[in-house]
Each structure stands twice: as C-alpha cells, then as structure tokens.
Amino acid sequence: MGKLTSMLGLLLTHPLEFRTLVQFYLYHEAKRDITAQQEHPTSGWDRTSMRRCWEFLDLTSRSFAAVIKELEGDLARTICMYYLIMRGLDTIEDDMTIPDEKKQPILRQFHELTVTPGWNFTENGPDEKDRHLLLEYHIIVEEVNRLAPQYKTVILDICQKMENGMADYAHKAATNGTVYLETIADYDLYCHYVAGLVGEGLTRIWSASGKEASFLCDQLELANSMGLLLQKTNIIRDFREDVEERRFFWPREIWAKYGFNEMKDMYEKGDVERATWIQSGMVLDALRHACDSLDYLRLLKNQSVFVFCAVPVSMAMATLALCFMNPEMFQRNIKIRKAEAAQLIMRSTNTREVALIFREYARKIHHKAKPHDPNFLKISVMCCKIEQWCEQNFPSFVILSERGRTYDSADKRTAIFRAEEKRVAERLAADPRNAPLPQDLFPWELAAYVVGAMLLMLGLSALIVWVMLKFIPQA
C-alpha cells in the first residue's frame, strides 16, 4: 500500500520519473532466478545454510544484492560469500563497544576464524546493525568451506590483508580517542584497505572463474581505482552521519587550510561558501579515479560481470554530481532519486553507454562549478579528462543506431573520414594489391625485422669470437 501511494505521489509531482520507474518495473527483468531448480547446483539454494546466506545478503546489502544474484554460474554464490565475510569483518571493526585489547586479535585472525567450523561472535553491542550476521557466523563458515579452492584462496588472502589494515586503524582510534586522516596519501591508503582490496579480490575471482581473461588479475591498479571511486563517493555522501558518529574520513590536508579546526565546523560555523570549497576538493579527489574505472570496464567481456561493475560506478558519478556544490549534503544524507537510479541500471549495459553517463555527469559538475572556487581550474581539467577519454574511445561524430553506424554530417571529422575512405577506394581500384590486410594476421614485416636483427647479432658474435681466436695470443 505504501509503495502504491508513493508511486501515485510520484505520478502527480514527477510524471517523467513515474514513467521511468514504470518502464523499469515492466521491462527490466532479473537475468537469473537463483531459486530456480536448474540453478541449485551453482546457487546452493537447495541447502538450508546457503539459503540463510542469501537472506543475510538481502539484510546487509543496500545496493549490491540484486546485481550479485545476477552473476553467472557459481560467481553469484562466491561473491555472496565474499561480501558477507567482508561485512562481518567490517562489523567488528566498526563496533566501538568492543575493547581494543579484544578487538585486535579477532581482527588479525579473522581469515582463520572464517574457516573454523562452529565459530561465531556474540559480543557486539546491541545497537550494531549487522550483529545478527556474526551471531550466526558459523553458517557463513560452513558455506565458505564449500567454495572452490581457487576462490577460497583469493578471498582469505584479501581478508588477511584487509583485517591487518583495519586493525591498525582501530588501534589508532582506541589509542588516540579518534583518528583524523592527515594527508590525501593517508586517505588513499585507508580507502585501499576498505575498498581497493575488495576490487583486487573481485578481479582475481573474475580471472579464476575463466569468465574473464587471465591477464585481468594483473590490472590491480585499475581495480584499486574502481574501489577508491566507490568508497570515496560514499565517504563524501555520508559526511554528516560519519561526523556525528565521530568517524573522520575527510583528510585534513583538504579541509584544514580553509580555517576549520574540526570537521563539524563545516556545518556549525555557517560558512557555507568555504564548506562547499572543501566539498569541491573532495569531489575533485574522487574524480581522478574516473578514467581508470572506464579503462577497467573496457577489459571486461562477460556481460554479468560488466553490469556488476558498471552499475555502482555509474551511480557513484551521479552521486558525486548530486553532492557537488550542494550545501544540503552537510545537513543530511542525500541520495539520487529512485527513477534516476533505475535509469542508470537500464543504461549501464556496455562501455560506450557508461562512458556517456560519466560524460553527462562530468558536464553537470562542470556546469555547477564556480570561478571563485579555489578548485575551479582543477575541476575543469578533471572533467575535460573524462570528455577526452570518451572522445578518444568513442568519437562523437560516429552515431550508433538501430539502422547501423552513421556519421554526423555537421562534424568536420566526418569530411576527413569520408576523404580517407575515398582515397583508400581509389588506391584499391588502381591496384587490388593495395587492399589492407586483416588486422588479425601475424605482422610478418615485424617478424622479418626481429629475425634479421637476431641473425645480425649472431653474425657479429661469431665474428668477435673468430677475431679473438685468430689474433689474441693463447696463454
């Protein structure tokens, strides 16, 4: 009834958004039903313990549950378990009611406890929202031990790296009373521990599954950037909530130079202009990961994996555009509208469309930028880098439609392209041997150069040996 009422209100106040949501509910069907009989061998739905894990996923994940369930084959179950392990670790790290002397050994041994049959944790504070996950963690342990060895190895390795980083920050917080991140480098390192490592683990799992190329697991810098873009977006959006709970993630290097002594001063002092300059600096820092994220998406070939990665980063760009130069962010937690989220989900199906989404929101950010903002020039440059990436990889004069590929006649590059086409056609008509070779053939000319160079080196080596034997007296 509540959903019907909200949809009716949306129809009256935002009819275009209402249409978008109706389209989403009618045409965007789930690609996979993990409860179906034929999916049981890979989803594990026929086991009571795995069904409980899927319930935990729905209870703890605000946005990832749906895209995780649509992953192909055993990837869905694997990523479900990966997410729940990370959520359990994060729940212990976040719980301020656990004394540091007790928290430290649990965090640093979490990768071992995760495979210890029967282990669970009952000492979370009563207000910890995900404590139920740790109360029944023995169910997670049971299903983790059923994972394929190649997946289990990756997950436990990432868990060990992450737990040590979290334990270090938790110890600093307990020792100093609170933790301020001083520099952008400290900020990057923290985000690497809590999100970049997750991206690394996902990338290694994609490769291990065989659904993505084996070389993908070597692109860890790009995977880290994907994680940092998502984490930094969440940190920007959740500013007010984090500060009120004494979690200070914004690096002092960005905000202290504007005359604020504490992060709460940004909303208590009433200096909205300087606060938005700091906000601008945080968005600028997040945007430097945008092009790396697009490069990462270009490497993916499996559609379900692509959608899993593309939807969150598209929403991250939308959230950054919403937060940028928006003073409301300092007062409450703001989110993109449901219709906008639905539209992003429907659009995020290929690299070109995601690149266009990035470009659209980069333009919105640039449009909102103010010349008197100290970050104005850097924001402009960063938005232009996203424009440049899109233009380099998907030139705007090439138009893709249902009729096929056409070209924008108003764009001067079309005339250049047509002239080049004509020149090639004339050369081919004059001599068919001028036809370009297929690009997938072996480059014989390059091979000839390589072989020739090797023969030359062998000849020179033989000549040097002969000279030494001929003219240098033997002892």
Question: What are the catalytic residues?
Answer: 190, 237, 247, 308
What residues form DSSP beta bridges with 401? 404
The C-alpha angle 290, 295, 298, rounded to 5 degrees, equals: 130
Amino acid present at 267 = Y
256 CB-near residues (< 8 Å, 6+ apart): none
- The CA distance from 84 to 53, in Å, is 8
- Which has the closest alpha carbon to 301: 351, 341, 234? 351
CB-based burial of residue 224 (10 Å sphere; 0-12 exposed, 13-18 middle, 19+ buried)? Answer: buried
How many Cβ atoms are within 10 Å of 47's Cβ, its own excluded? 14
- The CA distance from 330 to 60, in Å, is 26
- Which has the closest alpha carbon to 287: 386, 392, 187, 195? 386
- Which has the closest alpha carbon to 313: 226, 371, 255, 372? 226
Q: Quick one: tokens of 174?
A: 């307990």
- Which has the closest alpha carbon to 285: 227, 358, 233, 357? 233
Mind spelling out the 3-state secondary structure of 188-213? HHHHHHHHHHHHHHHHHHHHHHCCCC
- The CA distance from 283 to 246, in Å, is 21
- The beta strand positions in 349-415, using DSSP E, are 398-401, 404-407
